[in-house]
Amino acid sequence: MMIKLNLNGKSVSADVAEDSLLIDFLREHGCYSVKRGCETSNCGLCTVFLDGKPVLSCSLLTVRADGKTVHTLEGLQKEAEEFGAFIARQGAEQCGFCNPGMIMNAIAMFRENPDPTDEEILEYLAGNLCRCSGYEGQLRGIRAFLDYKKSKGETAICNM
Amino acid sequence: MLTIKKYVKAASLDEAYELNQKRTNRVIGGMLWLKMSSGTVQTAIDLSGLGLDTIEETDEEFSIGAMVPLRDLELHAGLNAYTHGAMRESLRHIVGVQFRNLATVGGSLYGRFGFSDVLTCFLGLDAVVELHHGGMVPIKEFAAQKPDRDILVRIHVKKTPLRCAYLSQRNTKTDFPVLACMVSEWDGTLRVSIGARPQKASLIELPKDLMPENASLEEIASYVQEHTVTGSNMRASAAYRSRLAYVLTKRACQQIGGMDK
């Protein structure tokens, strides 16, 4: 069936199968940051924003995105670049496979709660699994990023 | 792998109900559990165009649409104030924010899943389920029914003054609970809903002489343990769950009685 959505600021129309999942549609449209991890709706690797809210694209029918706005990591360049580079410099992760989903959900958290406590960070990011780090590295990196932004008198959120 | 032949965004509840009478058609909620199944759905019936994604609050009740995401319930200030945070506590451990932005309250309740934190929590409230053809059904009665071909429209939670607390035990964060426990007291009766037994949640209404004010916590917890049927699965044994029913009931009673302060 025909759908029309806004993908990373561009209007996209497409004829999609009724059981097509959003993750496959996004990858077909060049958004390779969106990856399939667990296939059980648990790992958060496929996180995208649907009308500004983080959702699992592996579990959402593409037809349900009809008329909506979808953002992937590719569409959040400025916010993602600064935060991603900071996390990398901090050595906050190891293999980086979980990184796209983790960055997306961290940005969602910054927008919802610009000054989270450590406990709030752990709770918000509980849906992003990392098999390397035990999450301590990510927590330290995010904390350091928030403290760095605060020291500059800025919030973690960049204007899109 | 799940195959869907046709997708219909229902224009009315009548249309959705009519389509749902065919056994090969399915109403889709958040689709998180359905997606894990294999087989063919002839027509996927989507209720998301029917305005059922809102929580309306009046002086008498909360009216929660079937398509409200769990995350909206978790963040609803009014519901959390009314349940003393029990609503949020029952939801915040479910996978992650991204999952809870998709999973719907209707899908969670309609499936009457054994692992459901949502059913366990709502069973402890003065709640009524609104079915399109079945009308208003008390949540306890609804939970006991087998799923049929009706459409769950809304859940009404009456603002009956209550004390309540929700606790769950998990082997690891974001996993299904090993046991879930909602203790609530309203209309002078103490109610304990135990979920993930691993069977679907069951509600125990305690005798009037078993209240935190006039019975010991051990007596209350022992009564619940004795009246809770548990089973074994890969997450825990029946004996462990039975012990947890005792411990969680005791702790939740401490919370509602203010004795943990």
**Tokens 């009665």 found at:** B141
Chain B touched by A130 (CB under 8 Å): no
Choose the closest CB to A63 out of B7, B36, B102: B7
Q: What is the pLDDT of residues B208-247, one digit of tens each?
A: 988 877 889 999 999 999 999 999 999 999 999 999 999 9
Sign of the C-alpha dihedral, residues B240, B245, B247, B251?
Answer: positive
Residue type at position B235: R
Best mutation target, B43, B98, B108, to test chain A (most A CBs within 10 A)? B98
Contact indicator for B200, B142 with CB cutoff of 8 Å: no
Q: Considering only alpha carbons, which residue of chain A is nearest residue B39?
A: A19
Q: What is the pLDDT of residues A87-137, one digit of tens each?
A: 999 988 889 999 999 999 999 999 999 999 999 999 999 999 998 888 999
Are the Cβ atoms of A18 and B174 closer than 8 angstroms? no
Is pLDDT of A41 > 80?
A: yes
Choose the closest CB to B98 out of A40, A64, A105: A105
Residue type at position A6: N
> Is B162 strand, coil or helix?
coil
A102-to-A149, A159, B91, B142, B153 alpha-carbon distances in Å: 19, 19, 21, 39, 35
Q: What is the pLDDT of residues B101-151, one digit of tens each?
A: 999 999 999 999 999 999 999 999 999 999 999 999 999 999 999 989 999
User: In chain A, what residues touch B7 (CB-CB under 8 Å)?
Assistant: 1, 18, 61, 63
Quick one: pLDDT at residue B13? 98
Is pLDDT of A160 > 80?
A: no
> Comparing C-alpha atoms, which of B171, B152, B178 is closest to residue B244?
B178
User: In chain A, what residues touch B68 (CB-CB under 8 Å)?
Assistant: none
Are the Cβ atoms of B36 and A19 closer than 8 angstroms? no
Are the Cβ atoms of A18 and B46 closer than 8 angstroms? no
- Which residues of B make CB contacts under 8 Å with A? 2-7, 28, 30-32, 35-36, 44, 46, 48, 71, 92-93, 95-99, 101-102, 173-174
Q: ipTM greater than 0.90, yes or no?
A: yes
| DSSP class per residue in A108-159 | HHHHH-SS--HHHHHHHGGGS--SSSTTHHHHHHHHHHHHHHHHTT--SPPP
Contact indicator for B73, B55 with CB cutoff of 8 Å: yes
Q: Hey, which residues 50-109 in chain A have their CB within 8 Å of chain B?
A: 50, 53-56, 59-61, 63-64, 105, 108-109
CA distance B159 to B231: 34
B31 CA to centre of own chain: 17
Tell which wins on pLDDT, B249 or A77: B249
Are the Cβ atoms of B99 and A41 closer than 8 angstroms? yes
Quick one: pLDDT at residue B123? 98
Chain B touched by A40 (CB under 8 Å): yes
Radius of gyration of chain B, Cα coordinates, nearest whole angstrom: 18
End-to-end CA distance of chain A: 31
User: In chain A, what residues touch B4 (CB-CB under 8 Å)?
Assistant: 18-19, 61
Determine how β-strand B39-46 pairs with β-strand B2-9: parallel
B9: burial class by Cβ within 10 Å (0-12, 13-18, 19+)?
A: middle
Average pLDDT of chain B is 95
> Comparing C-alpha atoms, which of A63, A75, A54 is closest to residue A22?
A63
